[in-house]
């Protein structure tokens, strides 16, 4: 894995097993440090990435995470896209409710991850997979 972070060059991690969630965390951490996010923001982004990568694995049946350094012109940020071809989410409002779970977890993954990032976009429908895009900006 390269620690070189080129602006706009996406880095892809395939999420197919438990240890891939760890790899996503490590990559996001490396990129967040390189983009000079504060320690608290690094921690929030890595935590959000961990939740979403686990969702991709557990609910989406595996997929991938794509990490990109983005630049708004004013500041740098990190964008991560989590995509899977799983069953999708039928009731998005419900899935984004604190404490709601179908997988026996705490039901904080999706709703908690949304609170930890600056931008959160989700594209899903039953039978169409799920694509979640999150962005965290350096302050």
Q: Three-class SS of residue 63?
A: strand
Q: How far apart are CA 21 and CA 86, in angstroms?
A: 17
Site for other proteins contains 35 (CB under 8 A): no
Give the one residue of 30, 54, 65, 68 binding other proteins; rule: CB under 8 A: 54
Q: Nearer to other proteins by C-beta: 64 or 109?
A: 109
How is 23-59 classified by DSSP, letter by letter? Answer: HHHHHHHHHHHHTT--HHHHHHHHHHHHHHHHHHHHT
**Structure-token pair, residue 124:** 């899903």
Site for other proteins contains 119 (CB under 8 A): no
Site for other proteins contains 32 (CB under 8 A): no
Name the residues that contact other proteins, by CB under 8 A. Answer: 18-19, 21-22, 25-26, 29, 39-40, 42-44, 46-47, 50-51, 54, 98, 105-106, 108-109, 111-113, 115-116
């Amino acid at each position: 894995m390269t620690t070189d972070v080129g602006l706009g060059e996406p880095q892809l991690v395939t999420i197919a097993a438990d240890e891939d969630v760890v790899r996503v965390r490590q990559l996001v951490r490396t990129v967040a440090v390189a983009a000079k996010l504060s320690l608290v923001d690094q921690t929030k982004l890595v935590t959000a990435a961990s939740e979403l990568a686990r969702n991709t694995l557990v609910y989406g049946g595996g997929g991938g995470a794509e990490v990109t350094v983005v630049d708004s012109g004013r500041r740098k940020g990190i964008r991560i896209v989590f995509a899977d071809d799983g069953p999708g989410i039928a009731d998005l409002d419900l899935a984004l409710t604190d404490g709601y779970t179908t997988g026996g977890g705490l039901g904080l993954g999706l709703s908690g991850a949304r609170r930890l990032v600056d931008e959160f976009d989700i594209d899903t429908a039953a039978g169409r997979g799920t694509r979640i895009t999150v962005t965290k900006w350096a302050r």
